[in-house]
Structures are given as C-alpha cells and as structure tokens.
Amino acid sequence: MTDIAKAGVYPIAGRSVKRMGYGAMQLAGPGVFGPPKDRDQCIAVLREAIESGVDHIDTSDFYGPHVVNEIIKEALHPYPKGLVLVSKVGAVRGSDASWNPAQTPAELVTGVHDNLQRLGVETIDVVNLRITGAVHHPTEGSIAERFGALVELKRQGKVRGVGLSNVTAAQVAEAREIDEVACVQNLYNLVHRGDDPLVDALATAGIPYVPFFPLGGFSPIQSQVLSDIATELDKTPMQLALAWLLHRAPNILLIPGTSSLGHLRENLAAAEIELSAETLARLDAIGAKVTA
C-alpha cells in the first residue's frame, strides 16, 4: 500500500493532516448532480481512502446536492479520530442542475447547518466561503460581511475554521483582518500559475493552499508535453501533476477526486514520487510559456 505520509503533513485549523487528501465532488452523478451510478463503489472508494491514510476530505452539501455528504456519512460515520472534514458554502443547485449563488449571510448560515445535518456532526472542521462570480476566476469586491457571518458560527462552535475559495489576494488580506483564514482553495496547477505570489505569501504565513483542477485548462500541446514526461518516468500525467504540486510549496494540500478505486490508488501513489531537479525544470517550463 502507498505510504502517503511520505509527502509530509501540514496544519489546517489547528489539526495536522497528511498533504495528500481526497476531494469528494466526483461521488455525485454526472455534472455533480444527482446520485452516482454505483453508490457501493463510492462507499468503497471513501473507505479505502481512509484505510490508505487519508485524513482530510473535501466536500460540500451542494455536491449532488446533498448526495455526496449523505454518502460520506453512510461510508464513514462515526468518523475516525483525526479525520478533518472540509466543506464549502456559497451556492445552491437548481432543479435543472444549475449552480446558483447563495451569498447572503443568512444563506451562508443555512448552508453550514445543512452540512452539519447531512454529515451528522455538531462541528465542521473547516467551512470554506466560496465566492461566486466568473467561473474559477476570482473577481474583486469586499467579502467582509460574508466572511464575518461564518466567523460568528466559529464563535458559536459550529465550525473550527473558516477558509476561502475562488478569491483574490486582496480578499484574503481583508479576511485576515477579521479573523484567521483556515485555508485558501483556488484554481492552480502546472500551467495556471497566477496564484504563485499568493501561494508563497500563504506559506510564509503558515496558511494551507488547496489547489483544484490539477489538470484543468491545459492546451493540447501542454498536455502532450506532460504526457511525454510522464511516459518517460512510467507515471500517469495526473500523478506527475500532483507530484509537481507537492514539490511546489510545503503548504499545498491536495484533494484529488475520483469515484474509481483504480484512480484513487494512482492518485495516492503520487505522494511517493520524487522529482529530480531536471524533471522539475522541464515541468516548470510547461507553465512558464503561459505565465511569461
């Protein structure tokens, strides 16, 4: 079995977790809507992730909606000691599978209570405030009122930490003036490097950075270069992309998601991959053509 502890650990909301976690979004049906085709397989994936040492699961009640949290509860409740559950609020799903903003303080509070109920917990370790706007491209604007509403739930003991998702550096700074930021979850990968300064600033501050879409937005040429390097190393492109992120900064926590046992094992194996300076340089060059 893969030793994911080789990738190290990092604190989030006062809890130390292994840097290789699991994202539960793909446990829902197509388009992250409705039930999965094979619920038993999803339960098996969650249980094997835990057996493999994963102690950080990312979820949301708007995955499904409700479906993913219900599967997590069925598979893992009562939860293992040390398991950190991270959810997010800021959207609701329409009956047509649309993603609709739910950004008022009252809607955010309702979202947290929905997560608490369906996960079957009295306190969620971390709740991320997902700022809606352009898809995966943060837009500026004050988030103080929304962040403050979740900080109040922290004071009430409903959440242990409040994080941010799809935000700008200025919004992170604004939130940090109000309370601690448990983590930041943004689009970031080998070719989407716009958050490079933010990743480094958060590392200095001891705040976890959780990238999503590790293979999102690659051009065909970039994908081919990555595939060629992966073939040389007898790895998959996803494994290489995850390994690069682990090497990028010590505060990066990974949450690759899948509903396949085979893909789960492949993803977790990235925790053991060591990249030479030459390979890192070749991988960096793929993104440098975009960010230059």
Residue 281: CATH number of its domain: 3.20.20.100
88 beta partners? 128
pLDDT for 292 equals 40
Domain count, the chain: 1
Task: Return mean pLDDT, the chain.
Answer: 96
User: How far apart, in whole angstroms, are the C-alpha atoms of residue 120 and residue 234?
Assistant: 42
pLDDT for 289 equals 54
Taking residues 170-193, report their average pLDDT.
Answer: 97
Range of the domain at 239: 4-291
pLDDT for 62 equals 96
User: How far apart, in whole angstroms, are the C-alpha atoms of residue 74 and residue 42?
Assistant: 10
Backbone φ and ψ for 142, nearest 5 degrees, come out as -65, 140
User: How far apart, in whole angstroms, are the C-alpha atoms of residue 169 and residue 171?
Assistant: 5
Q: Which residues of 199-231 are buried (b: 16+ CB within 10 A; e: fewer)?
A: bebbbeeebbbbbbebbeebeeebeebbeebbe
pLDDT for 33 equals 98
Taking residues 146-171, report their average pLDDT.
Answer: 98
Q: Rounded to the nearest 10 degrees, how much is the dihedral formed by the CA atoms of 183, 30, 37, 48?
A: -20
> Which one from 10, 22, 63, 209 is the annotated catalytic residue?
63
Taking residues 164-178, report their average pLDDT.
Answer: 98
pLDDT band with cut points at 50, 70 and 90 for residue 291: very low
Active site residue 63: yes
Taking residues 240-253, report their average pLDDT.
Answer: 98
